[in-house]
Amino acid sequence: MAGEFSKFEVQEIVIPEGKLQMRIAGEGEPLLLLHGELGFPGWMGYHRTLSEQFRVMAPSHPGYDGSDRLDWAMHVSDIAGVYLQILDDLELSGIKMMGFSMGGWLAAEMAAMDPGKFSKLVLVGPMGVKPEKGEIYDLFLNLATEFLEESFLDPDSVEEYATIRPSEPSPEQEEVWEVGREQSARLAWKPFMYNPTLPHLLRRLKTLQTLIISGKQDSIVPFDSLRIYNESIPGSSLSLIDQSGHRPEIEKPEDFLKVVTNFLK
């Protein structure tokens, strides 16, 4: 559980309409980590490893976990705009950013809006782009637990699986998931989990080094979405981690971190 490796501190980020939680750990260059559709997953092994090399900044987006909801925000791009304002306020620029799943979409929106703010971009199993082949898994018509189960190729082999998907989730855990699902539905119910204009806007990322990565057996976001990201972002590279589903950072953390830290160097 998070407490075991709780070498992070939680800071409060004040924005005009509320407060956000931000977890911070480590020294070095800032690395902004953006969580996915169920909220912050807990302080996992990959957070710990990354914080050995970077100053990891892991916020909870508005409306997720303990961060205040912004009633006016109805699109992922709205949240992207909020984060860019926060980075302005923190006087951060040229930073590295990594987003997971729906957080990958958020990261892509932020980068498209303000590419100069970032030095490197990692999109992990990013939602946000409509695949021409296949469909993004419908997490609103399935339970959070079902979604998590579907996110791994071989749950039995995953060390941290019991952390991410407890066999008997506590009411508090259920509540975190439901709060996250509700906020995700507020942002991405229709069109479901994509922005039809995003591929066109991503062409702006000519000079931003971008890595698109997921599990080779990802059954949440079709490979075709990754292909379109790859083709839309000039010079981006695509990496697939074998024997992993949608969450390679948890299912194959060593393979994942090897590729990612090499890219982020």
Eight-class DSSP state of 94: S
Q: Pick the binder of another protein from 23, 181, 246, 252 (CB under 8 A).
A: 181
Nearer to another protein by Cβ, of 65 and 114: the residue is 65
Residues 48-107 that bind another protein (CB under 8 A): none
Q: Which stretch binds another protein (CB under 8 A): 11-19, 121-129, 175-183, 199-207?
A: 175-183
Q: Select 80 or 139, whichever has its Cβ closest to another protein.
A: 139
Please tell me the chain's helix, strand, coil percentages from 3-state DSSP, rounded to the nearest 5: 40, 20, 40
Q: How does DSSP assign 222-264, residue by residue? A: -HHHHHHHHHHSTT-EEEEETT--S-HHHHSHHHHHHHHHHHH
- Contact between 143 and another protein by CB under 8 A: the answer reads yes
Residues that contact another protein, how many (by CB under 8 A) = 14
As measured in angstroms, the least distance from the Cβ of 90 to another protein is 30
Task: Please state the closest distance from residue 101 (CB atom) to another protein, in A.
Answer: 16
CA distances to 25, 37, 186, 203 from 177, rounded to whole Å, are 24, 9, 14, 34
Contacting range for another protein; rule: CB under 8 A; set: 44-52, 180-188, 221-229, 232-240: 180-188
Enter the tokens of residue 172: 């508090």
Phi, psi of 214 (to 5 degrees): -160, -175
Q: Which is nearer to another protein, 55 or 186 (CB)?
A: 186
Q: How far is the CB of 176 from another protein (least distance, A)?
A: 12
Of 48 and 181, the one with the shorter C-beta distance to another protein is 181
How far apart are the C-alpha atoms of 40 and 60, rounded to whole Å?
A: 6
Task: Confirm if 54 and 31 have CB atoms less than 8 A apart.
Answer: yes
Nearer to another protein, 77 or 239 (CB): 77
Output b/e per residue, 119-129; b: 16+ Cβ within 10 A.
bbbbbbbbbbb
CB-wise, 194 or 256, nearer to another protein? 194
Question: Using an 8 Å Cβ cutoff, are 11 and 24 in contact?
Answer: yes
Closer of 174 and 255 to another protein (Cβ): 174
Find the angle CA(181)-CA(43)-CA(33) to the nearest 5 degrees. Answer: 70
- Answer for which of 6, 116, 162, 189 binds another protein (CB under 8 A) is 189
Q: Contact positions toward another protein, by CB under 8 A?
A: 140-143, 146, 175, 178, 181-182, 184-186, 189-190
